[in-house]
C-alpha cells in the first residue's frame, strides 16, 4: 500500500490512543505476576463488547470464526474457539504491557530461553550469513529480538511502515514508533521497506549483511509480489517466497524461529534446524517444498499454542 493510498486515520487509531496509556500505567505500577489476570479481564470484556454489537455484525463475525476453525478439521476442537479467541486477546494485552514496561526506568527483564543457538553458530561457520524466518506469534515481535540480543546476536530485521499498531498515516508516523522504538533497542538495524520504492533497496541491504556473514531476520507471511501456495491444516495458503529466494541466492542458512510463552510464564525463542544449507545440493528444490517444510513445523506450534498465534492473515481462501 502506497503512502498516498493510506487512510489518514482509522477508528483503531483512536482505540489505541485510549489503550496505550491505560496499559502503560498498569505495566509501570502493577507487578508482572498480576498481568495475566488483568489481561484476561480485558479480553473477556472485549469479547462481550463484540457480542453486544448489532445482530448482523455479530452474525458475520461468528460466521467468519466458524469458517476459520472449520479449516482445522478435528485437529482443534471448534467448541473451544471462543476460549481460544479470548486467550489470543489476553496474550495480546500482556505483550503490549511487556513493551510498555520496557520504557520504565530499569526496563523489563523477563526470563527468556533461547533454544537452538547452535544452529546459528554452525551457520556462521559456513561464512554466508544466517537468515532467521520468524513465525507470526504474539510474542515474536519483541521477545524474539530481545532474547537474541541478550545472548549476543545483533540482528538486521526487515520491516514495513505498518508494523506496530496500525497502517494508517497517523499510525505510521505517530503510533507505530512507540512500539518500534522499543524493538530497535535490541536490533543492529531496522531495514525498512519504503512503499514508494518497493522492497528492492531493503533486500539489497539484507543481502549485503548476509555477505558479511551477519544475522538477518524476516517475518513469515504472505505480503509480497511473489508467493507460493502450500498446504496448512488442510487448507491452502499463499506465502511470500522472498526469504527462500534471498537465502538460496545468498547461500545463507535459513532457520525457522518460533517464539512462545509457556504456562509458567517463561518465554522461549526456539530456533529450529535449517531449511536451506549452502552446502546442500538443493538448488533444484521448489520453493513450495521448502516453505511446506516450514509450515509443517508451524502446524505443531499452532496446535500446541493456538492462543498465541497471529492467525488473521491466514484466512485468504
pLDDT of 84 reads 84
Fold of 11-314: Glycerol-3-phosphate (1)-acyltransferase (3.40.1130)
List the beta bridge partners of residue 112: 267
- Residue environment code for 142-171, b if the CB has 16+ CB neighbours within 10 A, otherwise e: bbbbbbbbeeebebbbbbbbbbbbbbbbbb
Provide the 3-class DSSP secondary structure of residue 293: helix
Which residues, at least 6 apart from 49, have a Cβ–Cβ distance to it below 8 Å? Answer: none
**H-helix or E-strand containing 158?**
strand 155-159
Question: pLDDT tens digits for 44-70?
Answer: 987 776 544 433 334 444 555 555 556
Q: Which DSSP string do the residues of 41-54 spell out, in sequence order? A: HHHHHHHHHHHTS-
Question: pLDDT tens digits for 133-173?
Answer: 999 999 999 999 999 999 999 999 999 888 989 889 999 99
Q: Is the pLDDT of residue 209 over 90?
A: yes
> How far, in Å, CA of 168 to CA of 160, rounded?
12
> How far, in Å, CA of 153 to CA of 174, rounded?
29
C-alpha cell at 174: 505517530
Structural domain boundaries of the chain?
A: 11-314
**CB 210, CB 131: distance < 8 Å:** yes
> How far, in Å, CA of 262 to CA of 250, rounded?
35
Query: In terms of Cα–Cα distance, which of 245, 225, 233, 234 is closest to 291?
Result: 245
Mean pLDDT of the region 11-30? 95
Query: In terms of Cα–Cα distance, which of 87, 105, 139 is closest to 268?
Result: 139
Question: pLDDT tens digits for 164-205?
Answer: 898 899 999 999 999 999 999 999 999 998 754 557 889 999
C-alpha cell at 220: 513469515
Mean pLDDT of the region 77-103? 88
Q: What is the pTM of this model?
A: 0.89
Mean pLDDT of the region 91-100? 97
Q: Is the pLDDT of residue 10 over 60?
A: yes
C-alpha cell at 129: 550469513
**Mean pLDDT score of the chain:** 86
Query: In terms of Cα–Cα distance, which of 219, 13, 250, 226 is closest to 132?
Result: 219
Mean pLDDT of the region 206-226? 92
Provide the 3-class DSSP secondary structure of residue 6: coil
Provide the 3-class DSSP secondary structure of residue 191: strand
Q: Which of 18-27, 65-74, 83-92 is predicted with the least confidence, judged by mean pLDDT?
A: 65-74
Amino acid at each position: 500500500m502506497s503512502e498516498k493510498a493510506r487512510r489518514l486515520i482509522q477508528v483503531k487509531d483512536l482505540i489505541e490512543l485510549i489503550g496505550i496509556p491505560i496499559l502503560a500505567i498498569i505495566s509501570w505500577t502493577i507487578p508482572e505476576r498480576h498481568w495475566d489476570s488483568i489481561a484476561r479481564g480485558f479480553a473477556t470484556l472485549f469479547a462481550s463488547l463484540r457480542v453486544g454489537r448489532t445482530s448482523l455484525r455479530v452474525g458475520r463475525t461468528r460466521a467468519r470464526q466458524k469458517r476459520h476453525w472449520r479449516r482445522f478439521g478435528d485437529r482443534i476442537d471448534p467448541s473451544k474457539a471462543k476460549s481460544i479467541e479470548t486467550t489470543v486477546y489476553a496474550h495480546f494485552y500482556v505483550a503490549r504491557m511487556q513493551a510498555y514496561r520496557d520504557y520504565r526506568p530499569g526496563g523489563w527483564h523477563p526470563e527468556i530461553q533461547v533454544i537452538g543457538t547452535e544452529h546459528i553458530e554452525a551457520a556462521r561457520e559456513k561464512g554466508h550469513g544466517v537468515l532467521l524466518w520468524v513465525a507470526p506469534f504474539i510474542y515474536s515481535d519483541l521477545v524474539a529480538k530481545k532474547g537474541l540480543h541478550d545472548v549476543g546476536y545483533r540482528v538486521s530485521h526487515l520491516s514495513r511502515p505498518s508494523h506496530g499498531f496500525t497502517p494508517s498515516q497517523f499510525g505510521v508516523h505517530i503510533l507505530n514508533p512507540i512500539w518500534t522504538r522499543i524493538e530497535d533497542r535490541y536490533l543492529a538495524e531496522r531495514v525498512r521497506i519504503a512503499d514508494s520504492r518497493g522492497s528492492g533497496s531493503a533486500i539489497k541491504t539484507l543481502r549485503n549483511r548476509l555477505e558479511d556473514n551477519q544475522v538477518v531476520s524476516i517475518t513469515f507471511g504472505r505480503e509480497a509480489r511473489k508467493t507460493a501456495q502450500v498446504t496448512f491444516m488442510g487448507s491452502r495458503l499463499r506465502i511470500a517466497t522472498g526469504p527462500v529466494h534471498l537465502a538460496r541466492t545468498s547461500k545463507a542458512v535459513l532457520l525457522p524461529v518460533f517464539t512462545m510463552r509457556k504456562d509458567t510464564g517463561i518465554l522461549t525463542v526456539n530456533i529450529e534446524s535449517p531449511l536451506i544449507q549452502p552446502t546442500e545440493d538443493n538448488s533444484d528444490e521448489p520453493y513450495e517444498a521448502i516453505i511446506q517444510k516450514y509450515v509443517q513445523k508451524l502446524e505443531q506450534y499452532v496446535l500446541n499454542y493456538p492462543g498465541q498465534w497471529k492467525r488473521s492473515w491466514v484466512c485468504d481462501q
